[in-house]
């Protein structure tokens, strides 16, 4: 299992991931569902186990040694995220249960600030998690939801976006990378244009952060959200970055312990950032492991990861394009290692089931992006999404399995 990037030792990297050595249905596992969740290296697993074995305790509340050790480790992870995303302050990083939680936190917070005369923009490429919360916000406030249309190659119509922006636009929400098509959106251009009309921008970075180095200050983005489990970290933890002045402006999303300064039955005052938005006992082990996952990715280097994954994308795209009747959706050159496709009239679910019998994990269906499927007039796709621990050999086996499945289904 080799690669043309000679400085990238994929075999050594694969040895860090215990699950890659297992078999499924009697075949070696080929895991091509990385856009749904990434696999976890032993270093991240060890961080979780180490917490529970050695200093399991609640944080920010105890004077005893275990609580102080847990607090230090959790806050160190926050600082790791601050450094990784180049946030101005550690307090600008809010720990959440994931991207969806972070988006809903912002959507809830803007409720007092919108009226029926305001407009919100979302893109046609969004995951349902970056559509539904804004629809709910519009229902609460009367604001109008406008959609930035997409084009046949899976990119956003930036000319239409420019025309949609006006002095009524208050918020713009767009993903950094499409989970279905892999399209990398021009978020720098989107942010700059939105700011020119006074709108704030939230970028859903769930699909970008394991492939692209993100600098929130260079982007001048108002809010950026991500999930650990897409970045080789555990499920159930993520983060919201927000500009300090905006986070201070928004009211708390949830009430409870930790997010308060003083509580009486007459009045409650809230804690300073970031604790204002972190009610209750957090996923402590998950937060610590999130930091370990970011450290792991940085040890390899996101630039090297991006280069290697692009080589896999080009190799797979070339091989798949030779299969009769196969159509790829999302053909822009500026994309991450995601390929969504169909073969003739075969239902994607049937292909996915047969591939699973051969040990190959792909995702089939609408991928929580029904508007994209409606745009193309299809029920769903087969989605193969690659990570830096995948190989060309696996792609060869995948293509051979597709040929076999196609023969069985036609």
Summarised one tens digit per residue, pLDDT across range 81-92 is 999 999 999 999
Summarised one tens digit per residue, pLDDT across range 288-313 is 999 999 999 999 999 999 999 999 99
pTM: 0.95
Cα separation, 384 vs 365, whole angstroms = 12
Q: Where are the domains of the chain?
A: 10-31+302-409, 46-299
Give SS3 for 1.
coil
Cα separation, 358 vs 339, whole angstroms = 19
Question: Of 230-244, 267-281, 288-302, which range is least confident?
Answer: 267-281
Mean pLDDT over 363-378 rounds to 97
Question: Is 368 in the active site?
Answer: yes
Q: 10 Å Cβ neighbour count for 140?
A: 14
DSSP label at 271? P
In this predicted structure, the answer to whether residue 254 has a pLDDT above a threshold of 60 is: yes
C-beta separation of 309 from 369 below 8 A: no
Q: What is the pLDDT of residue 62?
A: 81
Share of the chain above pLDDT 90, in %: 91
Mean pLDDT over 198-213 rounds to 97
Catalytic residue among 27, 138, 209, 368: 368
Cα separation, 320 vs 330, whole angstroms = 14
Give SS3 for 221.
coil
Q: What is the pLDDT of residue 7?
A: 73
Q: What is the pLDDT of residue 262?
A: 73
How many CA atoms are closer than 13 Å to the CA of 146, on its beta-carbon side? Answer: 18
Question: Which residues on adjacent β-strands are paired with residue 343?
Answer: 326
Summarised one tens digit per residue, pLDDT across range 117-169 is 999 999 999 999 999 999 999 999 999 999 999 999 999 999 999 999 999 99
H/E element holding 341? strand 338-343
* Band of residue 2 on the pLDDT scale cut at 50, 70, 90: very low
Cα separation, 268 vs 247, whole angstroms = 18
Q: What is the pLDDT of residue 326?
A: 98
Residue 61 CB contacts under 8 Å (≥ 6 apart), including other chains = 67, 258
Tell me the H-state helices in 257-382: 284-300, 302-320, 348-357, 370-376
The token pair that represents 140 in the structure block: 């609460």
Give SS3 for 391.
coil
Does CATH place domain 46-299 in 3.40.640.10?
yes
Does CATH place domain 10-31+302-409 in 1.25.40.10?
no
Cα separation, 277 vs 248, whole angstroms = 10
Mean pLDDT over 266-282 rounds to 85
Cα separation, 353 vs 212, whole angstroms = 31
Q: What is the pLDDT of residue 316?
A: 98
Q: 10 Å Cβ neighbour count for 299?
A: 8
Q: What is the pLDDT of residue 134?
A: 96
- Give the DSSP letter string of 49-81: HHHHHH----SSS--SHHHHHHHHHHHHHHHHH
Q: What is the pLDDT of residue 61?
A: 79
The token pair that represents 328 in the structure block: 């790829």
Closest CA to 338 of 98, 122, 175, 221: 175
Summarised one tens digit per residue, pLDDT across range 52-93 is 999 999 999 788 999 999 999 999 999 999 999 999 999 999
Q: Which of the two residues, 8 and 381, has the higher pLDDT score?
A: 381
Closest CA to 168 of 144, 193, 142: 144
Preceding peptide of 274 cis, ω within 30°: yes
- Give the DSSP letter string of 111-169: GGG--TT-EEEEETT--GGGTHHHHHHHHHH-PEEEEE-B-TTS-B-HHHHHHH--TTE
> For all residues of the chain together, what is the average pLDDT?
95
């Amino acid at each position: 299992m080799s690669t043309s990037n000679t400085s990238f030792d994929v075999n050594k990297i694969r040895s860090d991931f215990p699950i890659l050595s297992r078999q499924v249905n009697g075949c070696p596992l080929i895991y091509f569902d990385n856009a749904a969740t990434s696999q976890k290296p032993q270093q991240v697993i060890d961080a979780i186990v180490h917490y529970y074995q050695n200093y399991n305790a609640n944080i920010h509340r105890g004077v005893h040694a275990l609580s102080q050790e847990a607090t230090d480790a959790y806050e160190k992870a926050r600082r790791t995220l601050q450094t990784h995303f180049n946030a101005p302050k550690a307090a600008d990083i809010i720990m959440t249960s994931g991207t969806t939680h972070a988006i809903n936190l912002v959507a809830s917070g803007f409720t007092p600030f919108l009226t029926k005369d305001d407009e919100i923009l979302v893109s046609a490429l969004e995951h349902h998690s970056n559509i539904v919360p804004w629809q709910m916000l519009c229902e609460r406030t009367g604001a109008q939801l406008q959609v930035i249309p997409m084009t046949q190659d899976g990119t956003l119509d930036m000319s239409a976006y420019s025309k949609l922006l006006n002095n009524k636009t208050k918020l713009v929400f767009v993903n950094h990378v499409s989970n279905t098509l892999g399209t990398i959106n021009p978020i720098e251009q989107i942010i700059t244009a939105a700011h020119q009309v006074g709108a704030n921008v939230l970028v859903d970075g769930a699909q970008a952060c394991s492939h692209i180095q993100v600098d929130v200050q260079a982007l001048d983005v108002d809010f950026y959200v991500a999930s650990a489990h897409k970045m080789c970290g555990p499920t159930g933890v993520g983060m919201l970055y927000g500009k300090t002045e905006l986070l201070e402006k928004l009211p708390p999303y949830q009430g409870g312990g930790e997010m308060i300064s003083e509580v009486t039955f007459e009045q409650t005052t809230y804690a300073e950032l970031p604790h204002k938005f972190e009610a209750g006992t957090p996923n402590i082990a998950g937060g610590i492991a999130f930091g370990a996952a970011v450290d792991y990715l940085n040890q390899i280097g996101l630039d090297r990861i991006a280069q290697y994954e692009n080589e896999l994308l080009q190799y797979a795209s070339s091989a798949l394009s030779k299969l009769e009747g196969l159509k790829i959706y999302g053909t822009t050159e500026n994309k991450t290692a995601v390929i969504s496709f169909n073969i003739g009239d075969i239902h994607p679910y049937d292909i996915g089931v047969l591939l699973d019998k051969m040990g190959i994990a792909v995702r089939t269906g609408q991928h929580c992006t029904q508007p994209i499927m409606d745009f193309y007039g299809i029920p769903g796709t087969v989605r193969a999404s690659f990570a830096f621990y995948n190989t060309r050999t696996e792609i060869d086996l995948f293509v051979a399995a597709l040929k076999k499945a196609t023969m069985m289904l036609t």
